[in-house]
Amino acid sequence: MLEVKNLSMRFGGLLAVDGVSLDVQEREIVSIIGPNGAGKTTVFNCLSGFYKPTGGKVIFEGREIQGTPDYKISRLGMVRTFQHVRLFTQMTVVENLLVAQHRHLNTNMLAGLLGTPSYKEREQKALDRAAYWLERVGLLDLANRDAGNLAYGQQRRLEIARCMVTEPKLLMLDEPAAGLNPAETKELNQLIVSLKEDYNVSVVLIEHDMSLVMDISDRINVINQGKPLASGTPEEIRHNDDVIKAYLGEA
Amino acid sequence: MAANNMRHALFCAIVTLIISFPILGLSLEAKGVNITLSGAKTSTYVAIVLAAVAVFVFQTFRDTFMGALGKLPNFNPLAGREPMEQTKRVKLESWLLTGIVVFALFWPFLVSRGSVDLATLVLIYIMLALGLNVVVGLAGLLDLGYVAFYAVGAYTFALLSQYTGISFWMALPIGALLAGLTGMILGFPVLRLRGDYLAIVTLGFGEIIRILLNNWTTLTGGPNGIGGIPEPTLFGMEFGRRVKEEGNTSFHETFGIAYSGEHKVIFLYLIALVLAVITALIIRRFMRMPVGRAWEALREDEIAARSLGLSRTAVKLSAFTIGAFFAGFAGTVFASKQGFISPESFVFLESAIILAIVVLGGMGSQLGVILAAIAVTILPELAREFSEYRMLIFGAAMVLMMVWRPQGLLPVRRIQITLNKQG
């Protein structure tokens, strides 16, 4: 469903991403790994429209979307999280989820001001969907807390829930396990697999935690210094000499 | 530590002397064509020295003083109490607010004309502050040129009444819509700007409007302003002694009561009250709607908001437009109240005061903003006895307020939502 061909991104003299290609099928978890500064997050920023790539093509469900503005890309059903959690910290947990659902809501201002039945019905549906996902990530009891007051692991889960209420087809997670303890990482692991199995969402994952990556990925792409290094199943990557060299240095 | 304090204190005392001596200790007197410089009374000099000593002492023991200030809230009798239950609180609040509005409806019949006039001004500031609260408090866009939209509303009414003889009731929506449109036009070039940069551009925009009004003499009359702006009518009844417009009747003749100048003042007050209540209710609704949440999301984290499909353009423009719309509302009422407007009423200080109201009240909090509007408008009037020192008192009050309650009079309380457990 997502196909990236020869993607490159240049910042002045720096070629941060050079000829990266990857593809994601329906109900698949694809990971992007690589050493720090390899250009993984830059790839993400190009895919999600935060950067306009300088070369290459991004095709999502048969449409070329490179250079499309970020908010339009997310409306197509490609939603992302961030390396550093980005929540609306002074809003409550449930408000965070309502903001994300603005497209499912009746945004007609007059309907809202008058409180028409159709407006109320949609508002209620949005609340129910929010409740469902809060229950799913174990935050229902904290629904009216300020999002900024949650523990770090909870914030991570809320960010994923906030993506899921938009009913995406493709979820892009940028280091979701960063800063989580082993127990939380395990929970996250199960959550991501369940997103794929139960909600038919494809996942693109950037992650440093190798146990997580090897456990749940269907395929892995390795990037080094902006260039694609290898791609394949976890088993293939584990035994790839180039990858071992890039991670461990030459012997 | 102490030596450090001492040096700082000495410095502050000297600054006090340097600033206050030329201002208070010397006076210029015009004698014919010549201006002579003369000293002031000995008591003034003593006062200046005493002030410097006071500053010195305060700065030396600053830590102790500020520490004591910090402990003051402990004397607050409400401090230790549990917050009220959500449903109970909402009920109490709505009863209280209804009570206040009903009281405000009857209040003008009991007090003097001057008080009613001042209250009308307070209500205009409430409308302005509620509108700016949308832009600054909710959407987080620092707007220093807000008074421009107020001016657009006021001048729309003034010009239309001068050239086409339009009535207040017609001008009210037109003024507000035009102000809203101006807000949208300003919104376009500043879409990419945030924070300080946005503040500077809006500041410039506010000045452009004022200077335009000042210099386009053929249309706006320049610094001479526009007079003869009609007062509102009640179903075609005028409140003046004599009927100005053909076809209208006069209020006191229709009801067979003696003419009184107070009718007009009270009527204006009631209009302002109704409009202010409408403004508050509409914005309150907006805050609970998708658009209101989008404003706040944009304030909290623009990148995250965009990643969830919120269009920055739509959200920012809607905040600017709606904020400006209510400023236009207030401007029309203001023009009608004064009967005369000139660019002097729309200087930067006005923007600053409205912004101060929003910050003092607590960004985003409607009730806080309303309270602050009342306080900020009435305080200088109450302090009128102190004549030239009233702005000083006003400033000191603001400083103290920010030291004590940096979050504002009544900080925002998030709306609590009950969710039905799913599945």
Interface of B with A (CB under 8 A): 282, 285-286, 289-291, 293-294, 296-297, 300-301, 303-312, 414-417, 419-423
Which residues in chain B have Cβ-Cβ distances shorter than 8 Å to A92? 414-417
B154 in the same domain as B111: yes
Q: Can you give the pLDDT at residue B78?
A: 59
B130 in the same domain as B53: no
Q: Sort B224 into a burial class: Cβ within 10 Å, 0-12 / 13-18 / 19+.
A: exposed
Region B149-163 average pLDDT: 93
Tokens of B198: 């946005």
- What whole-number distance in Å separates Cα of residue B148 and Cα of residue B346? 7
- What whole-number distance in Å separates Cα of residue A24 and Cα of residue A245? 26
Domain-embedded: residue B203: yes
Domain with CATH 3.40.50.300 in chain A: 1-77+168-251
B237 in the same domain as B126: yes
Q: Which residue has the higher pLDDT, B137 or B234?
A: B137
Best residue in A68, A99, A118 to probe B by mutation, most B CBs within 10 Å? A99
B304 in the same domain as B185: yes
Which residues in chain A have Cβ-Cβ distances shorter than 8 Å to B422? 128, 131-132, 135
Q: How far is B74 from chain A (nearest CA, A)?
A: 25
Q: Can you give the pLDDT at residue B111?
A: 84
Region A138-147 average pLDDT: 92
Q: How far is B354 from chain A (nearest CA, A)?
A: 24
Confidence of residue A179 (pLDDT cuts 50, 70, 90): confident
Q: Can you give the pLDDT at residue B419?
A: 82
- What whole-number distance in Å separates Cα of residue A4 and Cα of residue A60? 9
Confidence of residue A165 (pLDDT cuts 50, 70, 90): very high
B122 in the same domain as B12: no
**A54 pLDDT higher than 80:** yes
Q: Can you state the angle between helices B168-187 and B312-338, rounded to 10 degrees?
A: 150
Domain-embedded: residue B414: no
Nearest to A109, CA basis, from B352, B387, B139, B315: B315
CA atoms within 13 A on the CB side of B125: 26
Region A55-59 average pLDDT: 91
Residue found under tokens 């040129």: B145
Distances (CA, A) of B24 to B41, B44, B325, B388, B393: 10, 7, 45, 12, 17
> What's the one-letter identity of residue B105?
L
Which CATH number do you get for residue B100? 1.10.3470
- Cα angle: B405, vertex B136, B404; to 5 degrees: 5
Domain-embedded: residue B83: no
ipTM for the predicted complex: 0.90
Q: Provide the domain limits for residue B12.
A: 2-73
Query: A189-215 pLDDT, tens per residue?
Result: 999 999 999 999 999 999 888 888 888
Region B332-341 average pLDDT: 92
- Number of A/B CB contacts below 8 angstroms equals 122
Under 8 Å between Cβ of B276 and B330: no
Best residue in A71, A98, A106, A166 to probe B by mutation, most B CBs within 10 Å? A71
Distance of CA B288 to the CA centre of its chain: 23
- What whole-number distance in Å separates Cα of residue A31 and Cα of residue B86? 46
Number of structural domains (chain B) is 2
Which residues in chain B have Cβ-Cβ distances shorter than 8 Å to A109? 286, 289, 291
Q: Can you give the pLDDT at residue B75?
A: 55
Write b or e for each residue in B402-418: b if 16 or more Cβ atoms lie within 10 A of its Cβ, otherwise e.
eeeeeebbbebeeeebe
- What whole-number distance in Å separates Cα of residue A195 and Cα of residue A189? 10
B258 in the same domain as B398: yes
**A68 φ/ψ sector (left φ>0, alpha ψ -120 to 50, else beta):** beta
The DSSP code for B74 is G
Region B306-323 average pLDDT: 92
Cβ separation B309–A102 shorter than 8 A: yes
B321 in the same domain as B216: yes
Q: Which of these ranges, A35-39, A108-112, A167-171, B269-273, has the smallest mean pLDDT?
A: A108-112
Cβ separation B420–A128 shorter than 8 A: yes
**Dihedral (Cα; A173, A179, A181, A185), 10-degree rounding:** 10
Domain-embedded: residue B89: no
As beta bridge partners, residue A2 has: A24, A60
Domain-embedded: residue B231: yes
Confidence of residue B1 (pLDDT cuts 50, 70, 90): low
Q: Kindly identify which residue of chain B lies nearest to residue A75, measuring between CA atoms.
A: B309
**B86 pLDDT higher than 80:** no
Q: Can you give the pLDDT at residue A173?
A: 94
B131 in the same domain as B46: no
Under 8 Å between Cβ of B282 and B274: no
Q: Which fold has domain A1-77+168-251?
A: Rossmann fold (3.40.50)
Region A48-53 average pLDDT: 90
SS3 content of chain B, % helix, strand, coil (to 5): 70, 5, 25
Domain-embedded: residue B411: no
- Cα angle: B102, vertex B104, B107; to 5 degrees: 110
Q: Can you give the pLDDT at residue B74?
A: 55
- Cα angle: B287, vertex B206, B121; to 5 degrees: 65
B323 in the same domain as B184: yes
Q: Kindly identify which residue of chain A lies nearest to residue B307, measuring between CA atoms.
A: A71
B173 in the same domain as B290: yes
**B389 pLDDT higher than 70:** yes
Alpha helix ranges (H) inside B235-347: 251-254, 261-287, 290-300, 302-307, 312-338
B165 in the same domain as B26: no
**B253 pLDDT higher than 90:** no
Average per-residue pLDDT for chain B:
85
Q: Can you give the pLDDT at residue B214?
A: 92
Domain-embedded: residue B79: no
Which residues in chain A have Cβ-Cβ distances shorter than 8 Å to B309? 71-72, 74-75, 79, 100, 102-103, 166
Cβ separation B294–A88 shorter than 8 A: no
Average per-residue pLDDT for chain A:
89
Write b or e for each residue in A195-226: b if 16 or more Cβ atoms lie within 10 A of its Cβ, otherwise e.
bbeeeebbbbbbbebeebbbbbbbbbbbbbeb
Best residue in B302, B308, B315, B414 to probe A by mutation, most A CBs within 10 Å? B308
Portion of chain B with pLDDT greater than 90, in percent: 37
Under 8 Å between Cβ of B184 and B192: no
Which residues in chain B have Cβ-Cβ distances shorter than 8 Å to A128? 419-420, 422
Under 8 Å between Cβ of B342 and B208: no
Distances (CA, A) of B294 to A68, A148, B43: 21, 17, 60
Best residue in B286, B325, B416, B422 to probe A by mutation, most A CBs within 10 Å? B422
**B397 pLDDT higher than 70:** yes
Query: B262-287 pLDDT, tens per residue?
Result: 788 888 999 999 999 999 999 999 99
Confidence of residue A246 (pLDDT cuts 50, 70, 90): confident
- What whole-number distance in Å separates Cα of residue B242 and Cα of residue B386? 40
Q: Kindly identify which residue of chain A lies nearest to residue B322, measuring between CA atoms.
A: A109
Confidence of residue A39 (pLDDT cuts 50, 70, 90): confident
Tokens of B423: 């599945």
Nearest to A143 among B289, B296, B417 (CB): B417
Q: Which residue has the higher pLDDT, B318 or B418?
A: B318
Domain-embedded: residue B423: no
Query: A75-113 pLDDT, tens per residue?
Result: 999 999 999 999 999 999 999 999 999 877 766 778 888
B287 in the same domain as B342: yes
**B175 pLDDT higher than 90:** yes
**B76 pLDDT higher than 60:** no
Q: Which residue has the higher pLDDT, B168 or B38?
A: B168
